[in-house]
Amino acid sequence: MRVHSLNCGTMASAGAGEPPAVCHCLLIETDADGLVLVDTGLGTVNLKDPAGSLGEDFLGWARPVLRSEETAVHQVEQLGFAASDVRHVVVTHLHRDHCGGLPDFPDASVHLHAAEHEAALPGEGIYLNAAYAHGPKWVTYAGLAGDEWMGFAGVRALDGLPPEILMVPLLGHTPGHVGVAVQSEDGWLLHAGDAYFHRNELHDAGEWPEGLDQLQARAETDRTQRLANRDRLREAVRRPDGPVVFSAHDPVEFAGRP
Ligand SMILES: [Zn+2]
């Protein structure tokens, strides 16, 4: 399957020397199930009403550029498709910078972990529901039932999608945070969402901006789970058959994608 990496939201740099952060989304061309979008980044609802849909706090620290050219729907159309060709969206979680594009694909089925659905639906606290007030066709997956895959437990295929797309529970950043594995023409990819923020977190050598640890600590809902899942990711990238792993916001990982 052909997999496109899209930046659906440039935001403030994570620290000195770091390029601006991205919202790394995947657009997958399946053989029989239309287009599948993994995360949506920021969408037209955010451009129309930045403060109402993202909150003044988020605008202050994330400083998203909010360009219509960066929305997933615009990029889907630039690739020669229609928005309605996107039949499925898989969201790693429902933080504002991951689901802002949902209203641009109102007919798509939106797959996510049940714990995330439950946490986010009231639209309170860190969750703002402007991106899902239209009532998406939610498809939820509860618990940790599933198979072992590359050292991860509870991995499963998704309803109506081919077995080359898998939901990989990476809980901890939020109650129902997941990664999404995709078997591309060049091998397995793993979109790890916000399970970590900086590429160096997966490698023995190298450091990362201190501010990112503080940002993670402010956001995380289960530190023990989050750090255990980051350890699994560190192990996965060392496997000879391991996936290419990237996170949602690291601009260098994004730049390395074809
Ligand atoms: Zn994020």
What is the residue-averaged pLDDT of the chain? 96
Distance 157 CA to ligand 1 centre (A): 23
Specify the CATH number for the domain of residue 191.
Answer: 3.60.15.10
Residue 57: pLDDT band (50, 70, 90) is very high
Number of neighbouring beta carbons within 10 Å of residue 44: 17
How much of the chain exceeds pLDDT 70, in percent? Answer: 100
Distance 98 CA to ligand 1 centre (A): 6
So what's the pLDDT on residue 125?
A: 86
Task: Output the 3-class SS for 156-200.
Answer: EECCCCCCCEEEEECCCCCCCCEEEEEEECCEEEEECCCCCCCHH
Residue 43: pLDDT band (50, 70, 90) is very high
Span 26-31, mean pLDDT?
A: 97
Span 55-84, mean pLDDT?
A: 97
Distance 217 CA to ligand 1 centre (A): 13
Distance 219 CA to ligand 1 centre (A): 10
So what's the pLDDT on residue 258?
A: 83
So what's the pLDDT on residue 225?
A: 96
So what's the pLDDT on residue 157?
A: 97
Whether the predicted pLDDT of 142 surpasses 90: yes
pTM, full prediction: 0.97
Beta-ladder partners of 37: 27, 89
pLDDT in tens, 89-137: 999 999 999 999 999 999 999 999 999 999 999 998 889 999 999 999 9
> How, if at all, do strands 86-90 and 35-38 pair?
parallel
Distance 93 CA to ligand 1 centre (A): 8
Which H or E run contains 96? helix 96-99
Tokens 């860190």 identify what position? 126
Whether the predicted pLDDT of 205 surpasses 80: no
Distance 187 CA to ligand 1 centre (A): 25
How many domains would you assign to the chain? 1
Identify the DSSP state of 30.
Answer: -
Number of neighbouring beta carbons within 10 Å of residue 127: 19
pLDDT in tens, 178-199: 999 999 999 999 999 999 999 9
Instruction: Tell me, rounded to whole angstroms, the distance of Cα 151 from its chain centroid.
Output: 20
Residue 255: pLDDT band (50, 70, 90) is very high
So what's the pLDDT on residue 15?
A: 87
Domain hosting 201: range is 2-255
Whether the predicted pLDDT of 5 surpasses 90: yes
Reading the block at residue 220, the tokens are 């995380």
Span 216-242, mean pLDDT?
A: 95
